Chains A and B, each alone.
Chain A
Amino acid sequence: GAVVSQHPSRVICKSGTSVKIECRSLDFQATTMFWYRQFPKQSLMLMATSNEGSKATYEQGVEKDKFLINHASLTLSTLTVTSAHPEDSSFYICSARAPKGGSRTDTQYFGPGTRLTVL
């Protein structure tokens, strides 16, 4: 299957600092990437849809100024948690959709996740 990487896998930061999480599709180009947040023992909650070369679409209740998303290229999307607070501590997961027309059309591949802990 396709590979999506995330970096870092784990980060601990102080309250008030900003944290950047990278999501890369390693063996395919992804025009669309998605960012999710997952709390312990819960399902994935979609935060935003990231489209290469355009502004991200945020889900209702997600602060766009708090969670900055940049889809700079067809293989890289970044999520920056600005002025992080303890309530932002969570497991952040990205996914990338395989391009249309190939054998993996419509399939969404997930990264390994980033565990953010804000002290």
Chain B
Amino acid sequence: QQQVKQSPQSLIVQKGGISIINCAYENTAFDYFPWYQQFPGKGPALLIAIRPDVSEKKEGRFTISFNKSAKQFSLHIMDSQPGDSATYFCAATFPRSGNTPLVFGKGTRLSVIA
């Protein structure tokens, strides 16, 4: 059973455009939702994270929108650049309940073309 569903699987965006990646979760006990960026041959790097007590969090060009009632959250990349081309993973966990691991989505391969 996949607890975090991520879409789309791949995404092509023009330079300067907005990239949007969506995730839906099932476990209402999740209380921490990070997004990771991974370049080929590298480990994932934390991009931005949100807790369910806020509906939006913005850091630079990256914004997480969170809809608790719908159990959905999304990553928006504004002014997308070729350097943003990577695989993005959403994740969820409930760390305050103990040493629980991240549950990852299947990833979205983003290509930003000039």
Contacts and interface: CB of A to CB of B under 8 A. Distances in A.
Interface of A: 1, 4, 6, 31-32, 34, 41-44, 46, 49, 51, 91, 93, 95, 97, 105-113, 115
Contact of A109 (B46, B95, B101): B46
Contact of A110 (B45, B49, B93): B45
Contacts of A108: 34, 46, 93, 102
A51 B107 contact: no
A44 B34 contact: no
Nearest to A114: B43
Given A43-B107, A106-B96, A113 B42 contact: yes
Contacts of A106: 32, 93, 95-96
A58 B43 CA distance: 21
B1 interface: no
B28 interface: no
A110 B99 contact: no
Contact of A107 (B41, B46, B89, B96): B46
A43 to B, nearest CB: 5
Contacts, number: 56
Chain B contact-residue range equals: 20 to 34
Name the prevailing secondary structure of the A interface residues. Answer: strand
Given A1-B46, A34-B101, A113-B43, 11 more contacts: A43-B89, A43-B106, A43-B107, A46-B102, A91-B41, A107-B46, A107-B49, A108-B46, A108-B93, A109-B46, A111-B43
Contacts of A113: 41-43
Contacts of A6: 43
A115 B41 contact: yes
Contact of B99 (A46, A49, A107, A115): A49
Interface in B73-102: 89, 93, 95-96, 99, 101-102
A81 B72 CA distance: 38
Given A93-B44, A107-B46, A110-B44, A31 B99 contact: yes
